[in-house]
Amino acid sequence: MPGPSSRSRVCNVLVIGSGAAGLRAAIAATEAGSQVLVVGKRDRLDAHTVLAAGGINAVLGTRDPQDSWEQHFADTFREGYFLGHPRVVEIMAREAPDAVRELADWGCQFARLDDGRLDQRYFGAHKYRRTCYAGDYTGRAILYTLAGKAQQLGIPVVEDQYISRLLVADGVCFGAYGFDLVSGERTVFEADAVVLAAGGHTRLWRRSSSRRDENYGEGMFLALEAGCRLMDMELVQFHPTGMVMPEEVAGTLVTEAVRGEGGHLYNKDHERFMTRYDPVRMELSARDRVALAIYTEIIEGRGGPNGGVFLDISHRPKDEILEKLPRMYRQFIEYQMLDISRQPMEVAPTAHYSMGGISVDPETHATDVVGLYAAGECTSGLHGANRLGGNSLAETVIFGRRAGAAAAAHSRESEVQRRSKKAVHDAEEELQSLIKPGSELARPLQRALRNLMWEHCGVVRDEARMRDGLRKLGELATAAETVDIHPGQEGWVELEHVLDLRAGLRTAEATLRCALERRESRGAHNRSDFPALDPALERNFYTRVEGADQPLTVWSEPVPAIPASLKRLLTDEEMEVAGRLLE
């Protein structure tokens, strides 16, 4: 059946993804004089950033005047197990204060002290209080602020658009091809430069803090197919505490603030097991360590009836719980009819954040493809092997701004506007070829993929399980070729599901292949067959497509050298990571 005809829209800078990174890029490009178009597959006020809860980091010194950008750098770089790009970490630490003040100036409703200054609270493993927040709805407050600013500037945001392919000719990106999820209408988006800000890939795991139909690694897939390298795909943060039931919400985040407010972790024998894993910091240890501890308890048979351990805050007064953890209180009443002021929650690790992603230039976030930039969770380089909470929202606005400005400069400086009818035709043909009757359905295959990643590349990995995972992934990929899609009615959403599946299969492969090569345990990457950190692997693992239908190739390179001026910060005793884990 022929698809609806393609129309075309032309702009200087096309932004894919309307989360915080995409909107901030669009604002920067517009302010630099470009005509900008933002496309996203969701409603513009409902991009995934809306879920972010606890806060955004910036050294403002409101509560702790002794804090410094150097300390923020040191905490981030060290907690990332030295795999972050030193310059990326430096930029984030230096520029976060201006980025947060700017959001506040644009009307973001951050919490303030009585004297009007922005309040700051502790977040895990930060030495000082440097996390600004808007209750536990910080992501929503930031997204609404950026959307308001974009509207003021007259930036069009096209909703319900699924981008299926980047348009590339001779190594130059000149736009993207997509379709409308409601009408099915196809659009060729032509642009001088493109900013990809399409989020992470943590929905690939059975238990995930992401929501449905997001975070299948769509942006990473588009970049990979366009010729970009991905970096450190094996580095995926598992948040220690996600809900375990009911099944449809398993993985939903149980905020770190529960432990920050004094919550205790127990196994089924009512033992406070953190005494065996980190007797000093206990429940307030770093995320990677608490996640591994909980995982070990469960695997060794000391878990609860639903496959989790117990997180108990019921020893705190109910009034305090209602004041400090209102969202958590509501969440457990709504889904489990459980009153957390009286009973413990059952929790288990949940896939939460992609620390790896598209390889980018540290200054401009240019990718390997000319005219293509990337920002936000789909990129790599900031968090190393363990992300500090609150740093990713800072990353979205700081590098969103840089990528948008660089894309606008590229557009301004381009002498020719490259176009290729063949590239457009190929994108049309590719999409059309997916619409056919078949024997499989996308949803069950998505579920099988999520189970596969959970079982074969979860909190703890080993070579045999990962190799088996790759084999099963091949079977799933074969099955995915015969997915049934009927256009119309549910048809366009079915097409979204199959494209998500396609992206997920490739990013899963990237994750498994990089995880196989990292033969050590470091941060969030735990190998039971290589339980120790290997100093020789202070390297980043890269992957890319060498040819159609070929397995991805993987190689590693040393982390860029850290300048002496920054290295000094890491050896200074004052710069020791304090390991405080309070939200």
What the block records as the tokens of 258 is 């529960």
DSSP count for the chain of H helices, then E strands: 15, 21
Please name which of 366, 347, 355, 360 lies closest in space to residue 389, comparing C-alpha atoms. Answer: 355
Determine the Cα–Cα distance for residues 283 and 277; give it in Å rounded to an integer: 10
Q: Which of 44, 48, 365, 383 contacts ligand FAD by CB under 6 A? A: 48
Binding characters for ligand FAD, 163-202, by CB under 6 A (x = yes): x---------------------------------xxx---
56 binds ligand FAD (CB under 6 A): yes
Q: Among residues 216 and 273, whose Cβ is nearest to ligand FAD?
A: 216
Distance CA 391, CA 209 (A): 17
Catalytic residue among 259, 365, 383, 502: 259
Q: Does position 96 bind ligand FAD by CB under 6 A?
A: no
Cβ distance to ligand FAD smaller for residue 218 or 234 = 218
Contacts of 378 (CB under 8 A, 6+ apart): 17, 21, 196, 197, 198, 199, 200, 219, 220, 223, 354, 357, 358
**Residue 177, token pair as written in the block:** 């091809």
In the complex with ligand FAD, the residue whose CB is nearer, 391 or 511, is 391
Q: Does 161 bind ligand FAD (CB under 6 A)?
A: yes
Tell me the three state secondary structure of residue 557: strand
Closest among 324, 354, 311 to 510, alpha carbons compared: 354
Of these, 54, 304, 308, 357, which contacts ligand FAD (CB under 6 A)? 54
Nearer to ligand FAD by Cβ, of 68 and 161: the residue is: 161
Compose the 457-496 pattern: x for residues touching ligand FAD by CB under 6 A, - for all others: ----------------------------------------
The answer to whether residue 47 forms part of the interface with ligand FAD (CB under 6 A) is yes
Query: Nearest approach, Cβ of 207 to ligand FAD (angstroms)?
Result: 12
- Answer yes or no whether residue 217 interacts with ligand FAD by CB under 6 A: no
543-548: Cβ within 8 A, 24+ apart: 543/224, 543/229, 543/230, 543/231, 543/233, 543/510, 543/513, 543/514, 544/224, 544/227, 544/228, 544/229, 544/230, 545/224, 545/225, 545/227
Residue with tokens 């943590």: 202
Judged by CB under 6 A, does residue 97 bind ligand FAD? no
Please state the closest distance from residue 224 (CB atom) to ligand FAD, in A. 13
CA distance 69 to 19: 26
Site for ligand FAD (CB under 6 A): which residue of 13, 20, 100, 516?
Answer: 20
DSSP string spanning 59-95?
---SS-TT--HHHHHHHHHHHTTT-S-HHHHHHHHHH
Which of 503, 496, 383, 517 minimizes the C-alpha distance to 76? 383
Are the C-beta atoms of residues 85 and 362 closer than 8 Å to each other? Answer: yes
Q: Where does residue 126 rank: exposed (0-12), middle (13-18), buried (19+ CB within 10 A)?
A: buried
Q: Which residue has the tokens 């119309």?
A: 488
Identity at 280, one-letter amino acid code: V
User: Site for ligand FAD (CB under 6 A): which residue of 26, 52, 298, 407?
Assistant: 52
- Are 149 and 106 within 8 A, CB to CB? yes
Contacts with ligand FAD, 223-262, as mask; x by CB under 6 A: ------------------------------x---------
Residue 259 falls in the annotated catalytic set: yes
Question: Residue 144 and residue 82: Cα distance in Å, rounded?
Answer: 34
C-alpha span between 301 and 267 (Å, rounded)? 9
- The window from 5-13, 44-52, 509-517, 535-543 that contacts ligand FAD (CB under 6 A) reads 44-52
Among candidate residues 239, 287, 506, 513, the one labeled active-site is 239
Site for ligand FAD in 305-364 (CB under 6 A): 353
Q: Which of 75, 214, 346, 494 binds ligand FAD (CB under 6 A)?
A: 214
Look at the chain and count its residues.
583
* Residue 194 CB, nearest approach to ligand FAD (Å): 12
Q: Which residues in the 377-396 window bind ligand FAD by CB under 6 A?
A: 377, 389-393, 396
From 40, 349, 384, 579, residue interacting with ligand FAD (rule: CB under 6 A): 40
Q: Which of 75, 190, 218, 283 binds ligand FAD (CB under 6 A)?
A: 218
CB of 159 to ligand FAD, least distance (A): 9
**Nearest C-alpha neighbor of 29 from the set 413, 405, 412:** 405
Stretch that binds ligand FAD, among 156-164, 224-232, 473-481, 505-513 (CB under 6 A): 156-164
Tell me if 53 contacts ligand FAD by CB under 6 A: yes
The interface region with ligand FAD, picked from 33-41, 165-173, 343-351, 570-578 by CB under 6 A, is: 33-41
Q: Which residues contact ligand FAD by CB under 6 A? A: 16-17, 19-22, 39-42, 47-49, 51-56, 138-139, 161-163, 197-199, 209-210, 214, 218-219, 253, 353, 376-377, 389-393, 396
Active site amino acids: 239, 259
